[in-house]
Structures are given as structure tokens and as C-alpha cells.
Structure 1
Amino acid sequence: RVLFRSNYQNHVATYYPKETLSVLMIGIDGNSKQNFQRHMPKTRNFLLNDLNAIELHQYNKLGEKTYPNVVALLTGKSQTEMIRSNWTAAQTFDNVNDDFIWSDFRKAGYRTGTVFDQYHLTAFHYQKKGWDKAPVDFYRRAGLHYRNRDKLMRRHNKHCIGDIPEITLNHDFWIQMATTFNNSKTRPYFGYSFTTHLTHDNHNLASAGDHLYLGFLQDLKDKNIINNTVLIFFSDHGQRFGATRSTYNGIIESRTPYMFLIFPPWFYQKYPDILKVLKINQERLTTNRDIYETLRDLVNFQATTQLGDINKRGISLFQEIPRERMCEHAQISVEYCVCNELTNSNVSSSMSLALALTVQDKLKALIYTVLDKCSVLKFKKVMRVMEEQPKTTRVNQTPVNSTRYHITLMTTPGDAVYEA
């Protein structure tokens, strides 16, 4: 307790932040912006109408799965840059934990916590080693591990602990933490929560969580927690598989997660210039890295606004993001960029065949070392070929004007579906 108070006092004495706001991040896996509108309308309406949330309408994912997206959100880095930071999948994240934004908040005197509903399938544990030492002050992994292995507790439904929805238990933890530490003068907190069970395997189950998340948000408001807290309500990406994913709309949805930012009711009145910039940025191209830069600004909030540097891949939402910003500026790979024009063009049969054979050769190369254990993989049929054209722009004075093809095909044996 003395250490936290000392860190906080030193931070205030050194940087003179104009506000010290707690931060709570609530994430849901694989829930696109469109799916959120379809299946969680009560939660969305409460965010917009009761909490006056800022919704980022041009929010674009950075990577295919959860890991590259949340790493960018929490560290501002890419997967490759994490490896360059002296980390590999064979190591724990302990030696790079200072790169995570919760470490910045902790150094500033914040109590920090994380909540996951999986102990082996989180972004930091699936095919990775997680942490040996707790990365935050309140780390619930050990309890989660034993709870998930308890057959009696998981007897009836993987979404419940006994007869209580797991989401409710996780939300109760944040209510307890917020009511304990939600004093912006002396005891701010930072919380990061990510739910996988609900929507990872079936995005339609998001509807089952609508009333639970609505109740949680109502508690945050009724208990006056939101008065000292910045709430960030987000997802990592859209659905990556299933019937919807095979459609044109599914391709677009996979690239478009949602992002809402909720500030205390008094914040907009006290800082109208910040509100003006936030509303402008609602309609600008944004990514996880912009949220990371915003979090960095919240650690030492100075309430300054200016035009952001278009050459920076991450721009705080407290700065105006240039209207001219394109995916190349934000370092969004072309396969995830929603700025591209994706059309069902009349691609010739010879071109379709050439594309399919190219993908087939690439797949063979990927499994070359185990070819003696596998059947020969061949494409069975081309399901779709679309033309993907980036809008013409100039990045670092270099004209960008090219045509790419997006192909979906089925292979045999196994009838697996691939995209390239």
C-alpha cells in the first residue's frame, strides 16, 4: 500500500497530470461490429445513449487472430517486434512485461488487474508460455485454472460456474475492484478483461451475453464507478470461421471489430476540445495502436490537442487523426484493410486456375517436411475469386496503385477451405 501511494505521489510530483482517471478495458473475442449490433443491441444502446460512448466507426483490425491484435493494443508492437524485443514463443513474457501498458500504469501508482475466462487458450498462453510471475497486482489465473478443472463446477454448462454465469463472476470482480480502488485522488486502478468462451466458437451466442453486459454497465453507472473511470469496450476481430465467414459480408466482418470509449460525465464539459477531437476521430481510420497511444496519454493526461502526425502508425485519439490517413500509414496489411474495394469481378477461368495452383503449391511448401506422413493435397474447386483494389494514395512519396486477387478454394482430401 505504501509503495502504491509513493509511486502515485512521485508520478504526480514529476508529471503534474491534469487528471488521474482509472481505466477499465472489457474485451470480447471474435465479435465483429456488425455482430455486436445484431446480437447485443441492449448493450450497444446503453453504451451510446446512457453512457455517451464514443464509437470508432472506421476501426480496423491489424492481424488475423487475437494475439497480434491485443499485443498491438497493449504494447503498440507487432508480433515481429515482440520477437525483436528478446521474446520468443519458447519463453515467458516476464522479461518483456514492462512493454505492456499495465506496467506503465503500475509505475504511476495504479493498482492493476487482469481477468480471463480461459487459462490455456488466452492470447498469451495458447502455444505460448504466459508468465511465471504475475504480470499485474491482481492476477486470477491460478483460481481460474482450478475452477475450470473442477468437474462439478463445470458440470452443466461451460459458460457457467455452478449455476452462475461465468461472465457475471468476472464482472463482479471488477465491481469489487472498482469500488475498492476507485478514488482518483489516491488509488486509481487499471483493469484488463477478455472473454473467450462466449463467442469464440459460435458468434451467435453473443445474444446470450447481452443482458449480462447490460447489467454490468448499469452497475458501473449506478454505483458511480464511471464517474472516475475511462471504460474501453472492445473486441479483437470479427468471426474467423463458420457459415457467415464464407460470405462476402463475412470477409468484411472478420476485419471490423468494435471499439467504444466512455469517459466520465463531467469530462466532456471540462474538456470540450478533447470531445471535439474524439468526435472527429470517430470517422477516421483507427487501429489498436491508436488505443495504445491513447492509454499512454491517460497515464499522464495533459489535455492537449493537435493534429496527429500521419507518418506515425499509432496516433492518440486526443490528437486529430489526419483525414488522408490510409491503411499504409497505419501499417494495416492489405489483406485486412477495409479501405480496399472488394468486387466479384469476372476473372477468367485461366486466371482462377493459375491462382488456385499457386495456392496449392504454397500449401505443399508449408507441409513439405511432413509430406511422407500426409496425403498429396490438391485443390478440389475454386469457390470464389474477387478483385481487391487499394485506393490510390501516396505513402512516403511512392504511388500505390495495384490489383490483388482474393481467392477461396477447397482442397482434397478433407474438403478444407483456404483463403489467399
Structure 2
Amino acid sequence: MMSSKKSVILIVFDSVSHSNFIRSMPKSLEVLSSLYKSHIFKGMSKIGDNSFPNAVAFLSGKHHQTEFGDVMGYFDEHPLIWKDFEKAGYTTYYAEDYPKFNLFSYLAGGFRRKPVHHYFSNLGRTHVYCRPYWLNVYGSFLHRRSKFLCYGNQAMHNIELNYLSQFLRKNKDSPKFALNWLTELGHDYANTINVADEDFADFLRKHYDDLKESFFFVLSDHGHRFDPIRQTRIGRIEERFPFFSMHIPQCIQRKIPALAGVIQQNTEVLTSFWDFYVTMRDILDLGESDSWDQMISQLMDNSTWTHNYSKRGQSLLRPLSDRNCKEAGVPEEFCMCYPETAVDTNSYLITKLAQELILHLNRLLAEYNECAPLTLSKVRHATKIEDEFIGAEAKYRITVEATPSFAVFEALMRYNKAANTSVVHGNVNRVNSYGNQSICVHEQELRKYCYCTSTTAR
């Protein structure tokens, strides 16, 4: 008899766009497409600048700044989806490499207690004395002597994939929720993800029997944010669209033949991580209530499905209609739905907008004496966005370089011609790397903007 509770397995490759996965992981893509029959989503959009807001969206359905709770302390009491799976009887797993940029301990407290049944990461700032595995690895003499992305003669990504292998085999007869986040591979350079292609393809083939009856997602959080390609138009588009694939259990494909067609249609629609959260809640509830049969009729009439898991998002298991960025929950600054026309970077208006952008950043940094005031160096690029819904205002996307940090910032700006006023809309993106320039501040958002005046901080 088919168990109604289906395992949910996520493997996240940090900073890999849809296009970059296709370029850099051809062997893995072939296995996902041919063996797993995974659905490759062409329009999955990020909803936040970096890993944290995107992860919070699909792990909680909450906005990271206004709804999720304290993001600088501990996360033990936060509404993370693996808690829902654990309550439903699932065995839970969370693994993450690269302690320097761990999802919940970068400029935050992490967890006081082990958050899942199987945890392969860094507990948090109060538990450093425990010397978790990755802290031992990155602090070891062997790692310092090893080649990039290696630990002795082992590839770093294989250490984490081997841990996932053990988890899958040990718990093969129970429903599982697993989140495996591979950060270091793609975090610093866009092309290094390729070194894992053959290993990951082998992993997929090796574990097909372990994963074929699971909802299996291979995805990224966003495209590359700092590689030189990001400062091109193609790089900006890629950064907005992370890779996202979805495999549905074979038994459900047989039980609900129409489901594969629905999901395949959804791969052509603009989607976001809000939808991913709702999808996982949908999977959980369908298994809890054993209502897969009921889903057959709901695919024909989606209005009969009334679950409301979040303010935003729709299940990717249900038919989606064409929609715009607002309907998909994609912030305007990340929306790629409207054509853009290049404008003169030396014009009076663009110079005015650029100066307003620098003023905006300096206002954000004003209470931090350690941060040097920013000065406009030059406008690198500017476009006017042809949005028919904007009304009396005009929208511009501008890219500027600032001193003393030589930071490159990109922002969406609204300009009201009648009032001759301009305003920065949404978050300002830093599109080149900043290393230790901002190590003197401890807020994630401000790390992108600050240039520490102390030379010892850098």
C-alpha cells in the first residue's frame, strides 16, 4: 500500500542561476531530466537580494524583515517548515557547509538547540565550544594546506553529499524532510560549480531508488551576485532567476497522471519562493489527510482548493495562470517583466538620481560612525523602465560607482516629473564583492554599503 506521506528532499546550490546550471552542470541536468523526469522551472524568481530572505520565504512563508521575527538573535522559536514536518512524524535533516556564511548564524545567533533530528552544520555562537564538524574542517591544518574546495584528497561537496547519502539510506522506510545546502561551491565564483557536476550526477544515479518516491527539489537561492558577469545585462537577468527543478513521486505520477502536465505548464509561468513554501505545505497536508484522490478533481477545478497557508504564493501542484511580478510576490526591484531602454548616463536627470541614491545610502549609514561617507564617483549604466502601470511617475534603474570603497550599486528609482522628486524604491543591490570592507557593522543589509574607516577592520 502506498504511504500517503511523501518525503520532501531539497538540495540547494548557492548562487546558481537557471542558465548557469544548464551551462555548468550538463551531466547533472541530463540525469534530472532523463532519469528523474524532473520539471525544470524557467521562471522561478528570487524575492530577496541574498540567501537569507529567499530561504526565509520558502521555509516559513514570511517576509524576513517584517514578519519572521528577530533576525539577529536565535532562531529556535521561529516558524520554520521542518517543524511542521516533524510534528507530522517526519524524520528531519539540515546540512550546510561553509560556516563563514551559514544561513542562520551569519551575523546572527544560529540555534541554541539542535533544530532537526540530523544536523550537520554550526550550532551557533554559544556552541562554538562543541567544535561542530565544519568548524573543525575549516579551522584545520589539513584544510589550510588543501587546494580550493578540497579537504585533503576529498572534494568538500562530497563530504556533505556523503552525509546525505547516509541519511537517505538509514531512514529509507520513514517519511523524511531534508534540506541540504551547498554554499561554498558557487558562492564566490560563478564557474566553480562545474567541479561538482560529475559527482552530483553520480549521486543522483546512485540514489535514484532512494529518491524516486519523494518530492525531490534541486534548486538555488538566486543567481550570482558578485561575479563580473553580474555587471552585465545578462548577469542581472541571471541573478534574478535561480535554478529550480521538481521531481514528483512515481506512485503519484501513476495515481494522478494529469499532475505532471499541470506542473509542466507551471514551469512556463512566473513563479517565486512564496509558491515553493505553499507547495511544501500542500504536500504535507495532502499526505496528512491522505487526500491525493481528492486532488484529481481539484486539478480540473482549482477553485475547490481553499487552503490558505500564506499571504502570498500558490501551490506549484495546482494550475497557475499567467501573472505579473506583483501577483507572484516578486518585488519591483527584482522584476524583469518590463522592457528597459538605455538612457544617457551624463544627463541632468540621471546625475540627480545618482546623487539621490548616494544620499539614501549615507542616510542608512548615518548612525554608524565606523562607516565612511560615500561619494558618487560615476554613473555606470542607466535605463528607463517601460511600465504601463506606473502612472505619473517614471521608473529608472541606475548603476553607480562610489568612493572610497569603489562599490558598485544598483537601484530602482522612481521620479515624479511634476514634483521634481525622486526616491529609491526597494533594496539597493551591491553588485561587486566587498570582502572585509564592512566588517565593522553587524547588520546584513548594511554590510553591502559600509566602508569601514578603520584600516584594521579591513
TM-score by length of 1: 0.86
C-alpha distance in 1 between matches for 2:346 and 2:160:
53
- Counterparts of 1:289-328 in structure 2 under 5 Å? 289-301=274-286, 302-303=291-292, 304=295, 305=299, 306-307=301-302, 313-323=312-322, 325-328=323-326
Displacement of 1:348 in angstroms is 6.8
Of 71, 85, 96, the residue aligned with 1:116 is: 96
Q: Percent identity at matched positions?
A: 29
Of 186, 206, 216, the residue aligned with 1:199 is: 186
Work out whether residues 29 and 235 of structure 1, in 8 Å CA contact, stay in contact via their aligned partners in 2. yes
- Counterparts of 1:142-221 in structure 2 under 5 Å? 142-183=132-173, 187-221=174-208
C-alpha distance in 2 between matches for 1:94 and 1:62:
24
Displacement of 1:379 in angstroms is 1.0
Work out whether residues 339 and 385 of structure 2, in 8 Å CA contact, stay in contact via their aligned partners in 1. yes
Q: 1:68-119 CA deviation, whole Å, 9 max, x = no partner? A: 0011011111112444xxx3134201122xx211111111111101110122
Displacement of 1:264 in angstroms is 2.9
Work out whether residues 93 and 129 of structure 1, in 8 Å CA contact, stay in contact via their aligned partners in 2. yes
Of 394, 402, 405, the residue aligned with 1:414 is: 405
Provide the residue aligned with 2:235 in structure 1. 250
Work out whether residues 263 and 317 of structure 2, in 8 Å CA contact, stay in contact via their aligned partners in 1. yes
User: Is the aligned partner of 1:31 residue 2:16?
Assistant: yes
Q: 1:167-196 CA deviation, whole Å, 9 max, x = no partner? A: 11211122221122122xxx1111101111
- Counterparts of 1:14-93 in structure 2 under 5 Å? 19-83=4-68, 87-93=69-75
C-alpha distance in 2 between matches for 1:290 and 1:125:
26
Provide the residue aligned with 2:222 in structure 1. 237
Work out whether residues 60 and 338 of structure 1, in 8 Å CA contact, stay in contact via their aligned partners in 2. no
C-alpha distance in 1 between matches for 2:380 and 2:36:
44
Report the count of equivalent residues: 387
C-alpha distance in 2 between matches for 1:214 and 1:322:
33
Work out whether residues 75 and 101 of structure 1, in 8 Å CA contact, stay in contact via their aligned partners in 2. yes
C-alpha distance in 1 between matches for 2:374 and 2:72:
30
Q: Which moved more, 1:211-220 or 1:409-418?
A: 409-418
Q: Pick 1 or 2: higher relative contact order, CA cutoff 8 A, min separation 6.
A: 1
User: Is the aligned partner of 1:273 residue 2:258?
Assistant: yes
- Counterparts of 1:282-361 in structure 2 under 5 Å? 282-301=267-286, 302-303=291-292, 304=295, 305=299, 306-307=301-302, 313-323=312-322, 325-346=323-344, 349-361=347-359
Work out whether residues 213 and 250 of structure 2, in 8 Å CA contact, stay in contact via their aligned partners in 1. no
Assess, with a 3 A threshold, how the Cα gap between structure 1 residues 362 and 152 changes in structure 2: closer, same or farther.
Answer: same
SS for the counterpart of 2:409 is strand
Work out whether residues 154 and 162 of structure 1, in 8 Å CA contact, stay in contact via their aligned partners in 2. no
Unaligned regions of 5+ residues in structure 1, if any?
Answer: 1-16, 393-398
Q: 1:19-64 CA deviation, whole Å, 9 max, x = no partner? A: 2211110001111111111111111122112211111111110000
SS for the counterpart of 1:190 is strand
Assess, with a 3 A threshold, how the Cα gap between structure 1 residues 95 and 312 changes in structure 2: closer, same or farther.
Answer: closer
Work out whether residues 234 and 257 of structure 1, in 8 Å CA contact, stay in contact via their aligned partners in 2. yes
Work out whether residues 232 and 262 of structure 1, in 8 Å CA contact, stay in contact via their aligned partners in 2. yes
SS for the counterpart of 1:419 is strand
Assess, with a 3 A threshold, how the Cα gap between structure 1 residues 124 and 374 changes in structure 2: closer, same or farther.
Answer: closer
User: Is the aligned partner of 1:380 residue 2:380?
Assistant: no
Q: Which moved more, 1:308-317 or 1:171-180?
A: 308-317
SS for the counterpart of 1:284 is coil
Q: Which moved more, 1:61-70 or 1:358-367?
A: 358-367
Q: 1:352-408 CA deviation, whole Å, 9 max, x = no partner? A: 11111111211222232346x66553211111001123354xxxxxx8785311111
C-alpha distance in 2 between matches for 1:230 and 1:92:
30
Displacement of 1:120 in angstroms is 3.7
Assess, with a 3 A threshold, how the Cα gap between structure 1 residues 375 and 139 changes in structure 2: closer, same or farther.
Answer: closer
C-alpha distance in 1 between matches for 2:104 and 2:111:
8
Provide the residue aligned with 1:395 in structure 2. none
C-alpha distance in 2 between matches for 1:58 and 1:132:
37
C-alpha distance in 1 between matches for 2:354 and 2:331:
22
Assess, with a 3 A threshold, how the Cα gap between structure 1 residues 154 and 218 changes in structure 2: closer, same or farther.
Answer: farther
SS for the counterpart of 1:35 is helix
SS for the counterpart of 1:352 is helix
Of 247, 264, 289, the residue aligned with 2:249 is: 264
SS for the counterpart of 1:269 is helix
Assess, with a 3 A threshold, how the Cα gap between structure 1 residues 412 and 49 changes in structure 2: closer, same or farther.
Answer: same
Assess, with a 3 A threshold, how the Cα gap between structure 1 residues 211 and 154 changes in structure 2: closer, same or farther.
Answer: farther
Unaligned regions of 5+ residues in structure 2, if any?
Answer: 122-131, 412-458
Displacement of 1:274 in angstroms is 1.6
Assess, with a 3 A threshold, how the Cα gap between structure 1 residues 76 and 374 changes in structure 2: closer, same or farther.
Answer: closer
Provide the residue aligned with 1:101 in structure 2. 81
Displacement of 1:266 in angstroms is 3.8
Q: Which moved more, 1:326-335 or 1:382-391?
A: 382-391
SS for the counterpart of 2:98 is coil
Of 360, 365, 376, the residue aligned with 2:363 is: 365
Assess, with a 3 A threshold, how the Cα gap between structure 1 residues 132 and 312 changes in structure 2: closer, same or farther.
Answer: closer
